[in-house]
Structure 1
Amino acid sequence: MSVSQPSQTLEQQLFFDVIRDRRSVRSYDPQVISREELTEILRQATLAPSAANLQPWRFLVIDSPELKQQLLPIAFNQQQVIEASAVIAVLGDLENIRMAGKIYGLAVDAGFMPADTAKSFVERYTDMYSSMPSEAIRQIVYTDSGLVSMQLMLVARAKGYDTVPIGGYDKQKFMKAFGISERYVPIMLIAIGKAAKPGHPTVRLPIDDVAFFNEMPDA
Protein backbone atom coordinates (compact mmCIF):
# COMPACT_ATOMS: atom_id res chain seq x y z
CA MET A 1 0.00 0.00 0.00
CA SER A 2 1.44 3.35 -0.99
CA VAL A 3 1.87 6.07 1.59
CA SER A 4 0.95 9.58 0.54
CA GLN A 5 3.64 12.21 0.99
CA PRO A 6 2.83 15.17 3.25
CA SER A 7 2.30 18.44 1.43
CA GLN A 8 5.02 21.05 1.71
CA THR A 9 4.53 23.89 4.13
CA LEU A 10 5.09 27.46 2.99
CA GLU A 11 8.24 27.57 5.13
CA GLN A 12 9.61 24.47 3.42
CA GLN A 13 8.76 25.80 -0.03
CA LEU A 14 10.55 29.08 0.64
CA PHE A 15 13.63 27.18 1.78
CA PHE A 16 13.59 24.92 -1.27
CA ASP A 17 13.23 28.01 -3.48
CA VAL A 18 16.40 29.44 -1.93
CA ILE A 19 18.27 26.23 -2.70
CA ARG A 20 17.02 26.06 -6.28
CA ASP A 21 17.59 29.76 -6.97
CA ARG A 22 21.20 29.76 -5.79
CA ARG A 23 23.45 29.76 -8.81
CA SER A 24 27.04 30.69 -9.44
CA VAL A 25 26.87 34.25 -10.75
CA ARG A 26 29.88 35.73 -12.53
CA SER A 27 28.51 39.09 -13.66
CA TYR A 28 27.49 41.69 -11.08
CA ASP A 29 25.88 45.11 -10.92
CA PRO A 30 28.02 47.81 -9.28
CA GLN A 31 25.85 47.83 -6.17
CA VAL A 32 27.27 48.20 -2.68
CA ILE A 33 26.19 45.88 0.11
CA SER A 34 26.52 47.67 3.43
CA ARG A 35 28.94 46.32 5.98
CA GLU A 36 26.01 45.93 8.36
CA GLU A 37 24.29 43.62 5.86
CA LEU A 38 27.50 41.69 5.17
CA THR A 39 28.03 41.30 8.91
CA GLU A 40 24.50 39.93 9.33
CA ILE A 41 25.03 37.45 6.48
CA LEU A 42 28.22 36.25 8.15
CA ARG A 43 26.49 36.03 11.52
CA GLN A 44 23.77 33.79 10.10
CA ALA A 45 26.34 31.72 8.20
CA THR A 46 28.24 30.96 11.40
CA LEU A 47 25.26 29.01 12.71
CA ALA A 48 26.72 26.17 10.63
CA PRO A 49 27.89 23.10 12.56
CA SER A 50 31.54 22.40 13.34
CA ALA A 51 33.51 19.68 15.10
CA ALA A 52 33.19 20.18 18.89
CA ASN A 53 31.64 23.57 18.02
CA LEU A 54 35.15 24.98 17.67
CA GLN A 55 34.16 27.13 14.67
CA PRO A 56 37.51 27.22 12.85
CA TRP A 57 36.31 29.55 10.08
CA ARG A 58 37.61 33.08 9.70
CA PHE A 59 36.54 35.65 7.10
CA LEU A 60 38.51 38.38 5.39
CA VAL A 61 35.95 40.64 3.72
CA ILE A 62 37.49 42.56 0.82
CA ASP A 63 35.24 45.45 -0.23
CA SER A 64 37.82 48.12 -1.04
CA PRO A 65 37.94 48.80 -4.83
CA GLU A 66 41.72 49.16 -4.63
CA LEU A 67 42.14 45.82 -2.85
CA LYS A 68 39.74 44.07 -5.22
CA GLN A 69 41.84 45.39 -8.08
CA GLN A 70 44.93 44.01 -6.35
CA LEU A 71 43.15 40.66 -5.97
CA LEU A 72 42.18 40.50 -9.66
CA PRO A 73 45.45 39.08 -11.10
CA ILE A 74 45.79 36.75 -8.08
CA ALA A 75 42.37 35.35 -9.04
CA PHE A 76 43.48 34.90 -12.66
CA ASN A 77 41.60 38.00 -13.82
CA GLN A 78 38.12 36.71 -13.06
CA GLN A 79 36.04 39.86 -13.44
CA GLN A 80 33.57 39.00 -10.69
CA VAL A 81 36.35 39.86 -8.24
CA ILE A 82 36.10 43.56 -9.09
CA GLU A 83 32.43 43.67 -10.17
CA ALA A 84 30.98 42.08 -7.02
CA SER A 85 30.16 44.20 -3.98
CA ALA A 86 32.71 42.25 -1.96
CA VAL A 87 34.86 39.18 -1.99
CA ILE A 88 34.81 37.11 1.17
CA ALA A 89 37.93 35.05 1.73
CA VAL A 90 37.06 32.02 3.82
CA LEU A 91 40.04 30.97 5.90
CA GLY A 92 40.51 28.04 8.25
CA ASP A 93 42.23 28.65 11.59
CA LEU A 94 44.64 25.78 12.23
CA GLU A 95 44.98 26.97 15.83
CA ASN A 96 41.26 27.28 16.46
CA ILE A 97 41.61 25.29 19.69
CA ARG A 98 42.79 28.58 21.24
CA MET A 99 39.17 29.74 21.14
CA ALA A 100 37.83 26.75 23.09
CA GLY A 101 37.82 28.58 26.43
CA LYS A 102 35.89 31.52 25.00
CA ILE A 103 33.41 29.32 23.11
CA TYR A 104 32.56 27.12 26.06
CA GLY A 105 32.57 30.12 28.39
CA LEU A 106 29.89 31.70 26.21
CA ALA A 107 27.92 28.44 26.39
CA VAL A 108 28.05 28.66 30.20
CA ASP A 109 26.94 32.31 30.12
CA ALA A 110 24.02 31.35 27.87
CA GLY A 111 22.95 28.64 30.31
CA PHE A 112 23.64 25.83 27.83
CA MET A 113 26.03 23.90 30.08
CA PRO A 114 27.43 23.94 33.63
CA ALA A 115 30.82 25.54 34.20
CA ASP A 116 32.44 22.26 35.24
CA THR A 117 31.27 20.60 32.01
CA ALA A 118 32.70 23.47 29.96
CA LYS A 119 36.00 23.19 31.83
CA SER A 120 36.22 19.46 31.12
CA PHE A 121 35.43 20.03 27.44
CA VAL A 122 38.18 22.64 27.11
CA GLU A 123 40.70 20.31 28.77
CA ARG A 124 39.62 17.31 26.70
CA TYR A 125 39.79 19.03 23.34
CA THR A 126 42.99 20.89 24.14
CA ASP A 127 44.67 17.58 24.99
CA MET A 128 43.19 15.96 21.91
CA TYR A 129 44.33 18.67 19.52
CA SER A 130 47.80 18.82 21.05
CA SER A 131 48.39 15.17 20.10
CA MET A 132 46.49 15.19 16.80
CA PRO A 133 48.51 15.06 13.55
CA SER A 134 48.53 18.38 11.74
CA GLU A 135 46.95 16.79 8.68
CA ALA A 136 43.99 15.61 10.78
CA ILE A 137 43.47 19.13 12.12
CA ARG A 138 43.72 20.48 8.60
CA GLN A 139 41.05 18.05 7.41
CA ILE A 140 38.67 19.11 10.18
CA VAL A 141 39.27 22.77 9.33
CA TYR A 142 38.57 22.16 5.63
CA THR A 143 35.38 20.25 6.38
CA ASP A 144 33.98 22.81 8.81
CA SER A 145 34.95 25.75 6.60
CA GLY A 146 33.19 24.09 3.67
CA LEU A 147 30.02 23.83 5.74
CA VAL A 148 30.07 27.52 6.68
CA SER A 149 30.82 28.50 3.06
CA MET A 150 27.73 26.75 1.75
CA GLN A 151 25.61 28.23 4.49
CA LEU A 152 26.96 31.70 3.68
CA MET A 153 25.91 31.36 0.05
CA LEU A 154 22.41 30.18 0.99
CA VAL A 155 21.97 33.01 3.50
CA ALA A 156 23.03 35.48 0.81
CA ARG A 157 20.47 34.05 -1.63
CA ALA A 158 17.73 34.21 1.02
CA LYS A 159 18.53 37.92 1.40
CA GLY A 160 18.32 38.50 -2.35
CA TYR A 161 22.04 38.48 -3.15
CA ASP A 162 24.08 36.29 -5.46
CA THR A 163 27.40 34.56 -5.00
CA VAL A 164 30.00 32.46 -6.68
CA PRO A 165 32.62 30.31 -4.93
CA ILE A 166 36.09 30.78 -6.38
CA GLY A 167 38.67 28.05 -5.99
CA GLY A 168 40.81 29.17 -8.91
CA TYR A 169 43.29 31.63 -7.47
CA ASP A 170 46.95 31.63 -6.44
CA LYS A 171 46.69 30.86 -2.75
CA GLN A 172 50.32 31.59 -1.95
CA LYS A 173 50.22 34.98 -3.64
CA PHE A 174 46.92 35.73 -1.91
CA MET A 175 48.32 34.94 1.52
CA LYS A 176 51.40 37.09 0.87
CA ALA A 177 49.50 40.03 -0.66
CA PHE A 178 47.07 40.26 2.26
CA GLY A 179 49.58 39.52 5.02
CA ILE A 180 47.92 36.30 6.20
CA SER A 181 50.04 34.11 8.45
CA GLU A 182 50.54 30.36 8.14
CA ARG A 183 48.18 29.91 11.08
CA TYR A 184 45.42 30.15 8.48
CA VAL A 185 44.69 28.02 5.44
CA PRO A 186 42.82 29.54 2.48
CA ILE A 187 39.61 27.62 1.73
CA MET A 188 37.93 29.65 -1.02
CA LEU A 189 36.93 33.11 -2.15
CA ILE A 190 33.23 33.96 -2.39
CA ALA A 191 32.16 36.90 -4.54
CA ILE A 192 28.87 38.42 -3.38
CA GLY A 193 26.60 41.05 -4.90
CA LYS A 194 23.59 41.59 -7.16
CA ALA A 195 23.58 39.70 -10.43
CA ALA A 196 23.84 41.69 -13.65
CA LYS A 197 23.17 38.46 -15.53
CA PRO A 198 21.62 35.33 -14.03
CA GLY A 199 23.81 32.33 -13.44
CA HIS A 200 23.61 29.57 -16.02
CA PRO A 201 21.17 26.77 -15.25
CA THR A 202 22.91 23.48 -14.57
CA VAL A 203 21.97 19.82 -14.32
CA ARG A 204 22.59 17.25 -11.61
CA LEU A 205 23.15 13.52 -11.87
CA PRO A 206 20.10 11.39 -11.08
CA ILE A 207 20.02 10.56 -7.41
CA ASP A 208 20.25 6.85 -8.25
CA ASP A 209 23.73 7.54 -9.64
CA VAL A 210 25.03 9.11 -6.46
CA ALA A 211 23.10 7.68 -3.49
CA PHE A 212 23.05 4.07 -2.32
CA PHE A 213 21.34 2.39 0.60
CA ASN A 214 23.35 0.15 2.93
CA GLU A 215 26.02 -0.91 0.42
CA MET A 216 28.02 0.54 -2.42
CA PRO A 217 27.77 -0.89 -5.94
CA ASP A 218 30.55 -3.17 -7.18
CA ALA A 219 31.71 -0.75 -9.85
Structure 2
Amino acid sequence: MSETYKENNFEKILRGRKSIREYDETAKISKKEMEDILSETVLAPSSANMQPWRFIVVESDEGKAKLRPLIRFNTRQNDTSAAMILIFGDLQCYELSEDIFGAAVAAGKMPQEVKDQQMSTLIPHYKSLSRQEMIEVVKIDSSLAAMQLMLVARSHGYDTTPMSGFEADQLAETFDLDPERYEPIMIVSIGKANETGYSSIRLPISKIANWK
Protein backbone atom coordinates (compact mmCIF):
# COMPACT_ATOMS: atom_id res chain seq x y z
CA MET A 1 0.00 0.00 0.00
CA SER A 2 1.26 3.49 -0.83
CA GLU A 3 2.65 5.36 2.15
CA THR A 4 1.21 8.56 0.69
CA TYR A 5 -2.44 7.60 1.29
CA LYS A 6 -4.20 10.21 3.39
CA GLU A 7 -7.62 8.56 3.33
CA ASN A 8 -8.52 4.88 3.23
CA ASN A 9 -12.24 5.13 3.91
CA PHE A 10 -13.91 4.51 0.55
CA GLU A 11 -17.18 6.16 1.55
CA LYS A 12 -15.32 9.36 2.44
CA ILE A 13 -13.38 9.20 -0.82
CA LEU A 14 -16.54 8.64 -2.85
CA ARG A 15 -18.87 11.08 -1.11
CA GLY A 16 -16.19 13.68 -0.49
CA ARG A 17 -15.29 14.15 -4.15
CA LYS A 18 -16.34 17.54 -5.50
CA SER A 19 -15.28 19.50 -8.54
CA ILE A 20 -12.80 22.16 -7.42
CA ARG A 21 -12.09 25.24 -9.49
CA GLU A 22 -9.63 27.06 -7.23
CA TYR A 23 -6.62 25.44 -5.60
CA ASP A 24 -3.93 26.37 -3.10
CA GLU A 25 -1.21 27.67 -5.41
CA THR A 26 1.52 26.83 -2.89
CA ALA A 27 0.61 23.10 -2.76
CA LYS A 28 2.73 21.03 -5.15
CA ILE A 29 2.82 17.30 -5.91
CA SER A 30 6.21 15.63 -6.17
CA LYS A 31 7.06 13.60 -9.26
CA LYS A 32 7.27 10.48 -7.08
CA GLU A 33 3.79 10.96 -5.66
CA MET A 34 2.36 11.80 -9.09
CA GLU A 35 3.89 8.58 -10.39
CA ASP A 36 2.22 6.72 -7.49
CA ILE A 37 -1.12 8.34 -8.34
CA LEU A 38 -0.83 7.40 -12.02
CA SER A 39 0.33 3.87 -11.17
CA GLU A 40 -2.85 3.39 -9.14
CA THR A 41 -4.93 5.10 -11.83
CA VAL A 42 -3.91 2.61 -14.50
CA LEU A 43 -5.23 -0.30 -12.48
CA ALA A 44 -8.51 0.66 -14.19
CA PRO A 45 -9.90 -1.88 -16.67
CA SER A 46 -9.57 -1.52 -20.43
CA SER A 47 -10.71 -3.44 -23.49
CA ALA A 48 -8.48 -6.53 -23.92
CA ASN A 49 -6.14 -4.88 -21.39
CA MET A 50 -4.78 -2.66 -24.17
CA GLN A 51 -4.42 0.31 -21.78
CA PRO A 52 -4.84 3.04 -24.44
CA TRP A 53 -4.62 5.95 -21.98
CA ARG A 54 -1.68 8.33 -22.25
CA PHE A 55 -0.99 11.18 -19.82
CA ILE A 56 0.79 14.51 -19.99
CA VAL A 57 1.27 16.13 -16.58
CA VAL A 58 1.37 19.87 -17.11
CA GLU A 59 2.84 21.44 -13.98
CA SER A 60 5.50 23.95 -15.09
CA ASP A 61 4.76 27.63 -15.66
CA GLU A 62 5.80 27.17 -19.29
CA GLY A 63 3.49 24.20 -19.78
CA LYS A 64 0.55 25.96 -18.18
CA ALA A 65 1.16 29.04 -20.32
CA LYS A 66 0.92 26.84 -23.44
CA LEU A 67 -2.25 25.21 -22.15
CA ARG A 68 -4.03 28.37 -20.99
CA PRO A 69 -5.27 29.62 -24.41
CA LEU A 70 -6.77 26.20 -25.15
CA ILE A 71 -8.99 25.72 -22.09
CA ARG A 72 -11.67 28.37 -22.58
CA PHE A 73 -13.42 29.02 -19.24
CA ASN A 74 -11.19 26.72 -17.18
CA THR A 75 -8.26 29.08 -16.68
CA ARG A 76 -8.68 29.36 -12.89
CA GLN A 77 -8.03 25.64 -12.49
CA ASN A 78 -4.99 25.91 -14.76
CA ASP A 79 -3.54 28.88 -12.89
CA THR A 80 -3.95 27.53 -9.35
CA SER A 81 -3.73 23.71 -9.55
CA ALA A 82 -0.63 21.68 -8.81
CA ALA A 83 -1.00 20.15 -12.27
CA MET A 84 -3.30 19.73 -15.21
CA ILE A 85 -3.35 16.12 -16.37
CA LEU A 86 -4.08 15.78 -20.07
CA ILE A 87 -5.57 12.39 -20.92
CA PHE A 88 -5.29 11.10 -24.47
CA GLY A 89 -6.36 7.85 -26.09
CA ASP A 90 -3.74 6.16 -28.25
CA LEU A 91 -5.41 4.99 -31.45
CA GLN A 92 -2.48 2.66 -32.08
CA CYS A 93 -2.33 1.27 -28.55
CA TYR A 94 -2.15 -2.27 -29.93
CA GLU A 95 1.46 -1.57 -30.92
CA LEU A 96 2.37 -2.07 -27.26
CA SER A 97 0.52 -5.38 -27.00
CA GLU A 98 3.80 -7.33 -27.07
CA ASP A 99 4.99 -5.34 -24.04
CA ILE A 100 1.74 -6.04 -22.18
CA PHE A 101 1.28 -9.72 -22.97
CA GLY A 102 4.99 -10.49 -22.93
CA ALA A 103 5.24 -9.08 -19.42
CA ALA A 104 2.19 -11.12 -18.39
CA VAL A 105 3.88 -14.30 -19.58
CA ALA A 106 7.16 -13.39 -17.86
CA ALA A 107 5.28 -12.73 -14.61
CA GLY A 108 3.52 -16.09 -14.79
CA LYS A 109 0.12 -14.47 -15.22
CA MET A 110 -0.51 -15.80 -18.73
CA PRO A 111 0.60 -19.01 -20.52
CA GLN A 112 2.58 -18.48 -23.70
CA GLU A 113 -0.08 -20.22 -25.80
CA VAL A 114 -2.77 -17.86 -24.50
CA LYS A 115 -0.56 -14.89 -25.35
CA ASP A 116 -0.01 -16.21 -28.88
CA GLN A 117 -3.73 -16.75 -29.36
CA GLN A 118 -4.55 -13.27 -28.02
CA MET A 119 -2.01 -11.59 -30.24
CA SER A 120 -3.14 -13.44 -33.36
CA THR A 121 -6.76 -12.49 -32.71
CA LEU A 122 -6.64 -9.02 -31.20
CA ILE A 123 -4.09 -7.26 -33.38
CA PRO A 124 -5.90 -7.93 -36.68
CA HIS A 125 -9.17 -6.96 -34.98
CA TYR A 126 -7.87 -3.60 -33.81
CA LYS A 127 -6.24 -2.88 -37.15
CA SER A 128 -9.54 -3.57 -38.90
CA LEU A 129 -11.42 -0.91 -36.94
CA SER A 130 -12.17 2.43 -38.56
CA ARG A 131 -10.70 5.56 -37.00
CA GLN A 132 -14.08 6.48 -35.50
CA GLU A 133 -14.57 2.99 -34.08
CA MET A 134 -11.13 3.14 -32.50
CA ILE A 135 -11.89 6.57 -31.03
CA GLU A 136 -14.97 5.12 -29.35
CA VAL A 137 -12.91 2.31 -27.82
CA VAL A 138 -10.21 4.58 -26.40
CA LYS A 139 -12.78 7.11 -25.14
CA ILE A 140 -14.50 4.50 -23.01
CA ASP A 141 -11.26 3.05 -21.64
CA SER A 142 -9.61 6.41 -20.98
CA SER A 143 -12.74 7.72 -19.26
CA LEU A 144 -12.59 4.76 -16.87
CA ALA A 145 -9.01 5.78 -16.07
CA ALA A 146 -10.06 9.41 -15.59
CA MET A 147 -12.68 8.46 -12.99
CA GLN A 148 -10.20 6.23 -11.22
CA LEU A 149 -7.68 9.09 -11.23
CA MET A 150 -10.13 11.35 -9.41
CA LEU A 151 -10.82 8.76 -6.71
CA VAL A 152 -7.12 7.93 -6.32
CA ALA A 153 -6.37 11.64 -5.97
CA ARG A 154 -8.86 11.83 -3.09
CA SER A 155 -7.13 8.96 -1.34
CA HIS A 156 -3.89 10.93 -1.54
CA GLY A 157 -5.55 14.02 -0.06
CA TYR A 158 -5.99 15.96 -3.31
CA ASP A 159 -9.00 17.31 -5.18
CA THR A 160 -9.76 17.35 -8.87
CA THR A 161 -12.03 18.63 -11.60
CA PRO A 162 -12.70 16.85 -14.91
CA MET A 163 -12.87 19.15 -17.92
CA SER A 164 -14.04 18.69 -21.47
CA GLY A 165 -14.07 22.42 -22.32
CA PHE A 166 -10.88 22.74 -24.36
CA GLU A 167 -9.72 23.11 -27.96
CA ALA A 168 -9.55 19.42 -28.79
CA ASP A 169 -8.24 20.01 -32.30
CA GLN A 170 -5.13 21.78 -30.97
CA LEU A 171 -4.28 19.95 -27.75
CA ALA A 172 -2.16 17.05 -29.05
CA GLU A 173 -0.02 19.09 -31.40
CA THR A 174 0.54 21.81 -28.80
CA PHE A 175 2.11 19.19 -26.54
CA ASP A 176 4.14 17.49 -29.27
CA LEU A 177 1.87 14.52 -29.91
CA ASP A 178 0.72 13.27 -33.31
CA PRO A 179 -2.93 14.42 -33.58
CA GLU A 180 -3.67 11.57 -35.98
CA ARG A 181 -2.68 9.03 -33.34
CA TYR A 182 -3.60 10.63 -30.00
CA GLU A 183 -7.23 11.53 -29.34
CA PRO A 184 -7.79 14.07 -26.53
CA ILE A 185 -10.25 12.68 -24.01
CA MET A 186 -10.29 14.86 -20.92
CA ILE A 187 -8.27 17.22 -18.76
CA VAL A 188 -8.22 16.68 -15.00
CA SER A 189 -6.93 19.43 -12.71
CA ILE A 190 -5.41 18.25 -9.43
CA GLY A 191 -4.25 19.98 -6.26
CA LYS A 192 -5.20 21.07 -2.76
CA ALA A 193 -8.62 22.71 -2.70
CA ASN A 194 -8.79 26.40 -1.82
CA GLU A 195 -12.60 26.32 -1.72
CA THR A 196 -15.22 23.95 -0.39
CA GLY A 197 -16.73 23.17 -3.78
CA TYR A 198 -20.42 22.79 -4.48
CA SER A 199 -22.64 20.04 -3.18
CA SER A 200 -24.83 18.59 -5.90
CA ILE A 201 -27.95 16.50 -6.22
CA ARG A 202 -28.26 13.18 -8.00
CA LEU A 203 -31.44 11.83 -9.54
CA PRO A 204 -33.11 9.07 -7.51
CA ILE A 205 -32.45 5.52 -8.66
CA SER A 206 -36.18 5.13 -9.37
CA LYS A 207 -35.77 7.58 -12.27
CA ILE A 208 -32.66 6.10 -13.83
CA ALA A 209 -32.79 2.32 -13.30
CA ASN A 210 -35.24 -0.40 -14.18
CA TRP A 211 -35.48 -3.99 -13.08
CA LYS A 212 -36.85 -6.60 -15.50
Output the TM-score relative to the length of structure 2: 0.92
Q: Which residue in 1 is equivalent to 2:188?
A: 190
Q: Is the 8 A contact 1:72 1:79 kept in 2?
A: no
Name the SS for the 1:92 alignment partner: strand
Residue 118 (1) aligns with residue 121 (2): no
Output the TM-score relative to the length of structure 1: 0.89
* Cα offset, 1:75, TM superposition: 0.6
Moved over 6 A (4+): none
Q: Which residue in 2 is equivalent to 1:9?
A: none
Aligned mate of 1:138, from 115, 135, 138: 135
Name the SS for the 1:79 alignment partner: helix
* Cα offset, 1:173, TM superposition: 2.4
Q: Which residue in 1 is equivalent to 2:4?
A: none
In structure 1, C-alpha distance between the alignment counterparts of 2:170 and 2:111, rounded to whole Å: 45
Deviates more, 1:72-81 or 1:88-97: 72-81
Alignment coverage as a number of residue pairs? 202
Q: Which residue in 1 is equivalent to 2:152?
A: 155
Rg (Cα) greater in structure: 1
Partner deviation per Cα, 1:88-144 (whole Å, 9 max, x = no partner): 000000000101111001111111111121111111101111222222221110000
In structure 2, C-alpha distance between the alignment counterparts of 1:177 and 1:102, rounded to whole Å: 28
Q: Which residue in 1 is equivalent to 2:5?
A: none
- Which runs of no fewer than 5 residues in structure 1 stay unpaired? 1-12, 215-219
In structure 1, C-alpha distance between the alignment counterparts of 2:65 and 2:196, rounded to whole Å: 23
User: Which one-letter code corresponds to 2:23 in the other structure?
Assistant: Y
User: Which one-letter code corresponds to 1:74 in the other structure?
Assistant: L
Partner deviation per Cα, 1:5-28 (whole Å, 9 max, x = no partner): xxxxxxxx9112111001100010
User: Which one-letter code corresponds to 1:137 in the other structure?
Assistant: M
The sequence identity of aligned pairs, in percent, is: 40
Aligned mate of 1:176, from 153, 157, 173: 173
Deviates more, 1:124-133 or 1:163-172: 124-133
In structure 2, C-alpha distance between the alignment counterparts of 1:39 and 1:203, rounded to whole Å: 33
Provide the aligned C-alpha RMSD in A: 1.2
